[in-house]
Amino acid sequence: MIERLQKVIAKAGIASRRHAEEMILDGRVQVNGKIVTELGTKVDPEKDYVKVNGKRIQIEPHKIYLLLNKPRGYITSVHDPEGRPTVMDFVRDIKERVYPVGRLDYDSEGLLLLTNDGDLAGALMHPSSGVEKTYWVKIKGHLTEEKIKKLAQGGLSLPGGKSAPARVRPLRKTSEHDWIEIIIHEGKRRQIRMMVEKIGHDVLKLKRVAYGFLALGDLLPGDYRRLTPAEVKGLKGLIHKGGAAKKAPVKPKGEAVRGKRAGGG
């Protein structure tokens, strides 16, 4: 994000903004190897090299944490070489560079986190994190108790290894379909779909409704909201506790923002 040079120096904790202005006027500040004495100079802390008294300053970027309701038909990626729409279309008004935490398939929908906190994102995506993800799954046909037990007990052969035990419960039935809830702590690609296929059924709809203690709630498809400081602290706590899940809140906090694509922007 482009900012005035004196503000960047102040953010780094080198000096107050007024003192930073004096340092610039005194010729003690360099940007990309050149001395800068103009107070109106603007820089990008993530791209430009800023030195004060010959020493490069380190800027901690402003951390952003977003919860998006991903619609079907979008790639969970920053860019897609095939030109398909990505989830970044919904957060174009966010100035900081954010990226998805994990993935949801093109045909899947629901709760997706985005952030520029690389440490937290990496920890959450690591297999050892054990953060539980909750999905509502629409299945073609009807499941027997035996098939539900197979999903829950684990041991289904999947690419990359066998599935771990999961928590599975029926939600509702129609004349042709079953809805079930599946809670897993793994993150294999297309895992839920492959698990259901292994017991002889197809997934017609897949929606992630919770990530650890975070709930999707009534957030509309394509909309996002910022996590509260308490929620960010809670996510970091999940890492230290090995992903132990807490009960998701009935109504998530934070003001929803209409995604750019969804809002016609």
Catalytic residues: 105
Contact 114, 77 (CB under 8 A): no
